[in-house]
Structure 1
Amino acid sequence: MTNEVLTPEEMAEVDRKAIARGPLPGIGLMGNAGSAVAQVALERYPQASRAHILCGPGNNGGDGYVVAKLLKEAGMSVSVWADHPPRAGSDAALAAADCPEPVQALAGFAPESGSIVIDALFGAGLSKQVEGNDAQAISRCAEAKVPIVAVDLPSGVSGKSGKVLGAAFQADVTVTFVRKKPGHLLLPGRSLCGEVIVADIGIPDDIVTEAGPRRFENGPALWMAEFPFLELDTHKYRRGHVGVFSGGPTATGAARLSAMAAARAGAGAVTVLSPVDALVANAAHLTSIMLRPAETLQEIGDFLRERRPDALVYGPGLGGGPETGALLIDMLTEARDYLQAIVLDASALTSLARQADAFFVVSTREGAPSIVLTPHEGEFGRLFPDLAADKALSKLERANAAAMRAGGVVILKGADTVIAAPDGRAVINSNGTPLLATAGSGDVLSGLVAALLAQHMPPFHAACAGVWLHAEAARRFGPGLIAEDLPLALAPVLRELLYSSGCSGDCVSRFLPKV
């Protein structure tokens, strides 16, 4: 697998193990890294009048010295700039000694029109604020609007969190090594990387596996083996039954969006659980989706016992008052034997923020149903205020801590959505689109995830698949998208996904007609 995301600490461990195991020493790996960057610079900017290579004192700077030597040998005019020499005896010092270009003080750096800049100041392990001559160099590049090729990560971006530490380059292309780092995928780092190229520098995949990475970039390769396929002898209830709770007569649309998404995503049966005074409003808009009155704990319990739904959606359109959270806690307590999985969104999360401790007691109790929470940053901050306020935590770390506390999967939404499991796994979604910034799109996501849960996809995989499919449907649809478009927009994405999954023969023909 190549979708692992390595933290800076894990990458350092991979480097150490690769050097210890051989056959390449550290300077050999550095040579390969510098060669990958130089190749990109020559391919992308063959007409550049000069390459300015900015070198820091660590291994990132060592890569820069290799780049300078190779570009010079290729016939490009080169200038090397640095404030501090590499540590004596280090691989970077060996690379600097092998570089024929004189090193100029960084304070005098001023890029000219027609040149390019190779940013080799700091790599993914940066943990301090960028200031002084380094920050001035970043500012001068921005003013000159010259192309930037970043080595590993644009200097100033934290590889751990994607946050900007003081100042950061806006790269046109970033060449990283072995695997991506969180800073390539989390905002604002992702927007500063430009195109990201992952270069092979000779470190085998098994060394990456030994590092035990727990973070991944989202995509079908991560969850396709768990994706539900239809069997010839299936029937609607074997495809899963989803129950969706509706709000009152003026707030029924959110539940119907969730219900339709659940149906489009493969649930064989979907029931909207409606307050009595909203039955007419819901009935006017529902055809294949069933409708049932259920507003008291007794009525809900009767439904759960009689119909045994495989997954529920609770929250969209329900209102954020304390009664919403109280009913959920009672349901999780008294009807837990009949609950298998539940997706919590919108008003449920807002309401639970007022009774979070009571919720965490029942959500983490032995025998509790599988729970998926889908907060955006505002809802997350209300439900987990201490985690949201801790600026030292990355989005990955916040989501993981929340998942552990809640005993369920957390989908922390945004342009860089993170999906986290209580066991420490986390996935960063990279196909997000601003087209999803429209009312109701989150309701669709909840129904989509519930449908996958109802088809017995493991909760973490269902959440990852749901987020990716949701974004992909929006991207394929394009401008003009509203939430009502999303359920139907899932159909071609599902079709292509299944045909391209490597699943051939009966497993595809059973699901889709040939076209």
Structure 2
Amino acid sequence: MLMIPIVTPSEMKSIDASSDQPLDVLIQRAGSAVAWSARKFLSGTYGKRVVVIYGKGNNGKDGRVAASYLRKWGIKTIEYSVSETPKQLPKCDLVIDAAYGTGIRGEYFAPITDAPVIAVDIPSGIDGLTGEVMGLPMHSNWTITFQALKPGHLIPPGSNYVGDIEIIDIGLDTSHIETFLIQRSDITTWLPKKLTTEHKWKSACWIIGGSAGMDGALSLAAEAAQRAGSGYVRISTPGTMPIGPIEAVSHFIAEEGWEDDFRNNADRFSSGIIGPGLAVSSSNIKSIQKAVSDSEIPLVVDGGAIKALGENLEILQARKSDTIFTPHEREFEDLVGSRPSPRRIEDVRSAAKLTNSIVLLKGPITVVANPEGRCLVVANGDHRLATAGTGDVLAGIIGAFLAQGVPSMEAAAMGAWVHAEAGQFLFKYGMVASDLINLIPEVLHETDVG
């Protein structure tokens, strides 16, 4: 199965305009698809009543074509233009919302109805780019969109209005699109394959983190890396011998100048993680910058280490191996100087280009981008992950995938997907970060066997 493309409303407009198919043909295909979806939703036609709300644009034309098909099938269908729609819709079995779609400008206040709703493209009143609510939209049971998802389908609060989404192919070309939603089928193809010749050093990961009162972050990252498949995990905290999982190997590094130890020994490792629980002291900032500058292995940079590198982005321009940043919104500001706007995908793509790195922005959806503009979106997480320490677990998972040879972009996106999927196994309330760790192998096994 191919990855699901995501396009902005302006990109979709360009795709429409560049099609060699006449607009009328595309509208007929879209409207027909909406009608068939409505018929399927209604489980038949006899005695059914449908209300269609249509606007002036192509979205409204799609709705009117759908209405014509429904009438041919014997369904009593009432059409209202946006300006003529009553505040309270008449009793019906289904409402088709074709008022505005992604072309909305200004607010939309939907009529009242207790009938189920199918939205054409996106619920009217949801910003297709940002997911912001503009007025008072209807909550749809089902959204029928065409050729590709829009960011507003995935980003809250808009994602709370779309219901189930069906993507209909109407013959438009999206082959040039570089932003995709990640699904289980994608993860299955990326999972690292274990060979009979494996040994622990083939997937070794070195984690530098922890500090007074923050050694738990280092332990969480280390245990997550082990559970995600790293064969050998070394842990180090500047100036002290860390205590972590019994299977991890503690290694002393000096409180100051520890970058020399890292540089001289990192070549034995396939990946490194710098930052979980690491104190942002002046000596650590210098060591972090030097360690990243000198290192020739792929690195995950998390926590306070993000701020250290945000102070000197020039270091990243010359790095030959990949760097993966894993910020939340405040750390994103530490990295690039401003918090992400509602245009999250665009902001992450810009940050990746600025830093010459892969940037993974955590949040209600996780967005991963590389400097070339490719972008992967993970949307299977929820509020359960909004608790202390889950970011350390995520860093450990990504570091383990890197150590097993998964390409950096895929390692970051797969790490976010596995991390979120583990959360789905847990209670909706009371989860703590360590609960995720023992579920990582279960998620990997289920994904591998389908």
Judge same fold: TM > 0.5, yes or no.
yes
Structure 2 counterpart of 1:427: 376
Amino acid paired to 1:269? Y
2:137 aligned to which of 168, 172, 181: 168
The 5 A counterparts of 1:221-240 are 221-222=185-186, 224-238=188-202, 240=203
1:494 aligned to which of 432, 440, 444: 444
TM-score (norm 1): 0.80
The 5 A counterparts of 1:108-257 are 108-126=86-104, 128-130=105-107, 135-136=108-109, 138=110, 140-141=111-112, 144-201=113-170, 203=171, 207-209=173-175, 212-222=176-186, 224-238=188-202, 240-257=203-220
Amino acid paired to 2:290? D
When residues 48 and 410 of structure 1 are mapped into structure 2, their CA distance, relative to the original with a 3 A threshold, is: farther
Shift of 1:260: 0.8
CA contact (8 A) 2:273 2:396 kept: yes
Instruction: Give the unaligned 5+ runs of structure 1.
Output: 84-104, 501-515
CA contact (8 A) 1:219 1:465 kept: no
Structure 2 counterpart of 1:385: 337
Structure having the higher Rg: 1
When residues 82 and 322 of structure 1 are mapped into structure 2, their CA distance, relative to the original with a 3 A threshold, is: farther
Shift of 1:57: 0.8
The 5 A counterparts of 1:297-316 are 297-308=256-267, 309-316=269-276
Q: Once the two structures are superposed, what CA deviation does each residue of 1:279-337 show, in whole Å capped at 9, x if it has no partner?
A: 3xx43x4321000111445444224413522222222212345544333113234xx1x
Q: Distance in 1 between matches of 2:257 and 2:280?
A: 21
CA contact (8 A) 1:297 1:331 kept: no
Question: Are residues 1:35 and 2:13 paired?
Answer: no
CA contact (8 A) 1:244 1:271 kept: yes
CA contact (8 A) 2:3 2:183 kept: no
Structure 2 counterpart of 1:5: 6
Structure 1 counterpart of 2:301: 344
Shift of 1:108: 3.7
When residues 173 and 395 of structure 1 are mapped into structure 2, their CA distance, relative to the original with a 3 A threshold, is: same
The 5 A counterparts of 1:385-464 are 385-386=337-338, 388=340, 391=341, 394-464=343-413
Flag the structure with higher helix content.
1
CA contact (8 A) 2:258 2:287 kept: no
Q: Distance in 2 between matches of 1:174 and 1:258?
A: 39
Q: Distance in 1 between matches of 2:67 and 2:390?
A: 48
Question: Are residues 1:374 and 2:326 paired?
Answer: yes
CA contact (8 A) 2:259 2:290 kept: no
Shift of 1:340: 0.9
When residues 357 and 257 of structure 1 are mapped into structure 2, their CA distance, relative to the original with a 3 A threshold, is: closer
CA contact (8 A) 1:440 1:483 kept: yes
Structure 1 counterpart of 2:277: 317
Shift of 1:418: 0.7
User: Which shifted more, 320-329 or 172-181?
Assistant: 320-329
Backbone CA RMSD of aligned residues: 2.4
When residues 213 and 428 of structure 1 are mapped into structure 2, their CA distance, relative to the original with a 3 A threshold, is: same
Find the residue that maps to 1:208 and give its secondary structure: coil
User: Which shifted more, 150-159 or 181-190?
Assistant: 181-190
Find the residue that maps to 1:468 and give its secondary structure: helix
Structure 2 counterpart of 1:509: none
Amino acid paired to 2:213? T
TM-score (norm 2): 0.91
Amino acid paired to 1:170? H
Q: Distance in 1 between matches of 2:284 and 2:93?
A: 61
Structure 1 counterpart of 2:62: 63
Shift of 1:252: 0.6
Q: Distance in 2 between matches of 1:469 and 1:296?
A: 34
Report the count of equivalent residues. Answer: 445
Identity %: 30
When residues 2 and 13 of structure 1 are mapped into structure 2, their CA distance, relative to the original with a 3 A threshold, is: farther
